[in-house]
Amino acid sequence: MSGTPGEHDATTDPVDTTETVDPTDIAESVDPTDTAEAADPAGFRPRVPAAEWDDWRWHMRKRINTVHKARQWIRLTSDEEKAVAGSAGKYRWSITPYYASLMDPDDPACPVRLQAVPAPGELTEFPGSDVDPVGDMYYRKTNRVVHKYPDRVIMLITEACPVYCRHCTRKFHTTDVSGTYFRDDEGGSFEEDLRYIADHPEIRDVLLTGGDPLSYQDGKLEEIVSGLRAIPSVEIIRIGSRFPVLLPQRITEGLCEMLARYHPVWLNTHFNHPKEITAESAAAVDRLLRHGIPVGNQTVLLRGINDDVTTMRTLMTELLHIRVRPYYLYHCDNVTGVSHFMTSVEKGWEIMEGLQGHITGFGVPQYVLTTRIGKIPIAQPYFTPSPDGLRLRLRNYRGEEMVVDAAAYPITEPDAP
C-alpha cells in the first residue's frame, strides 16, 4: 500500500495492523456520541468507567482527532483550531484520552498539550529542514530494515502510533498523511526483513521501532519477536515504544509475559516532561521491570517544553524514582514540520551543565545529535589537552578548572619503563 500508509481506524479495532486501514478519515471522523459533550466546553474530562479507562483498546478507539472531541478535554485556542484546520490533509493528529487527561485544559503552553495538539509552527518550512535527517531511507535494505551500524539494525515495523507526537523525528513516516518510508504495504510479509537479518550474522542487536511497535496486537508482535529470536545471531531485541507515556494501559501483564519468553528484551521509552510521570506510567514501567525488561528513556530537547535546567533535572530524578534509566538527550533535529521545537546547541550545553555532577551519574543522559553518519555526542569537553600536549585542563561540574601535567593521565600508551 505504498503511498497510503497504514493507520488505525478509531472506530474499528484499533490495533490490528496486520490489516491496515485507510488513514484518511483520521482528521475528520467524528464520533456522533461525542457531539453533545463537545457543545459544552465546561464539561472537560468526561467521566469514564474504570473498566474502560483501564482498557487500552478503549483508549485507541476513543482517540481524539477532531476539534469536537478535543473540546471535551481542553479549551482550544483559535491558534490551535487554525493549526488543526491547516494541518488537515497534511498531518495526522490523534491523542489518547489518557494522554489528554494530562493536558491543562486552560493553558495552551502546557508541555503535554504542546506535544499533542497541532501548532501553527509545524506548517512553516524552516531553512535546512529535511523529512529524513537521520538517513533512514539511505540505509534501508529491505522494506523495514535500516542497517546503519555494523552490528545492529532497526526494523521500522509500523507507521501507527497512539498519539502523533508533533515533534516526531520520523514525522514524514508516521504523521504525514502522504509520507511513508515503506516501499511496500505495511501489513505485508516480514519474510524478506527476517531473511536479511539472518543472512547478516554480524547483526546481533535489533531495535523494533516505527511508529510504535506496540500498536500491534500481542499475537502479531509475538510473530515478529519469535521470528527474530529464531535467528541464532540475534542476541538482543530492543523495542522503542512511547506507550508507557502515551497509553500505559497497553503494558499489560499478558504483553510482558509474552515478551519475557524471548529474553533478552529491552525497552526504551520517551518521557519528555515530569508531568508525564504518573501512577499509571510508573505501574507500566514496574510491570516491564518485574518481567526482566530493562527500561531506558530517550528525551528530546524541545523548545517551550523541557528547555530549562529545572524541568530536566526534575525529569531525570523522577525517572530514577520509577527505575527508568535516562539514556539519551536528543538535540531536536531540523525535521520538516518539527523545526519550531528546535533549540540552540548552547541551550543543550547549559542543560547538560545543570545535570552533570548535580544528580547521580547514571541519571545523566548522553546529549547527542542524530545524523546520517550516526549519533554524535555533543557534550562540552571536561578534559582538554593543551595544543603542545604537555598539559591537561580539567573542569568540574561547577566550572572550576585545574591544569595538570599530561603525564598524570597519559592520552597515549606510555613507553614501558
Residue 403 and residue 392 in contact, taking contact as beta carbons nearer than 8 Å: yes
Report the distance separating Cα 180 and Cα 269, nearest Å.
22
Decide whether 148 or 242 has the Cβ nearer to ligand SF4.
242
- Among residue numbers 281 through 320, which ones bind ligand SF4 (CB under 6 A)? none
The piece of 1-9, 207-215, 362-370, 379-387 that touches ligand SF4 (CB under 6 A) is 207-215
Which of 381, 405, 411 minimizes the C-alpha distance to 391?
405
Output the smallest distance, CB 109 to ligand SF4, in A.
20
Q: Rounded distance, CA 227 to CA 219, Å?
A: 12
Find the shortest distance in angstroms from Cβ 168 to ligand SF4: 3
Least distance from ligand SF4 to the Cβ atom of residue 180, Å = 13
Count of Cβ atoms closer than 10 Å to residue 20 Cβ: 21
Q: In angstroms, give the least distance from the CB of 100 to ligand SF4.
A: 15
Question: Given the complex with ligand SF4, which of 88 and 198 has the nearer CB atom?
Answer: 88
How far apart CA 237 and CA 204 sit, in angstroms, is 9
| Residue 210 binding ligand SF4, by CB under 6 A | yes
Assess 242 for contact with ligand SF4 (CB under 6 A): yes
Closest CB 417 distance from ligand SF4, rounded Å: 54
Does 174 participate in binding ligand SF4 (rule CB under 6 A)?
yes
Q: How many CB atoms lie within 10 A of CB 401?
A: 11
HEC sequence for 201-229: CCCCEEEEECCCHHHCCHHHHHHHHHHHH
Interaction of residue 238 with ligand SF4, rule CB under 6 A: no
What minimum distance in Å lies between the beta carbon of 186 and ligand SF4? 14
Residue choice 56, 73, 164, 196 for contact with ligand SF4 (CB under 6 A): 164
Give the three cell numbers for residue 325: 534509566
Q: Are 317 and 311 in contact (CB under 8 A)?
A: no
Q: How many residues bind ligand SF4 (CB under 6 A)?
A: 10
CB of residue 108 vs ligand SF4: minimum separation in angstroms? Answer: 20
Query: What's the rounded Cα separation, in Å, for the pair 161 and 95?
Result: 10
Q: Is residue 207 a contact residue for ligand SF4 (CB under 6 A)?
A: no
Q: Is 93 in the site for ligand SF4 (CB under 6 A)?
A: no
- Give residues with Cβ within 8 angstroms of 39, minimum separation 6: none
Q: Kindly tell me the burial class for residue 208, based on how many C-beta atoms sit within 10 Å of its own C-beta (0-12, 13-18, 19 or more).
A: buried
Q: Which of 338/352 has CB closer to ligand SF4?
A: 338
Residues 104-163 that bind ligand SF4 (CB under 6 A): 161
Q: Where on the chain is the footprint of ligand SF4 (CB under 6 A)?
A: 161, 164-165, 168, 170, 174, 210-212, 242
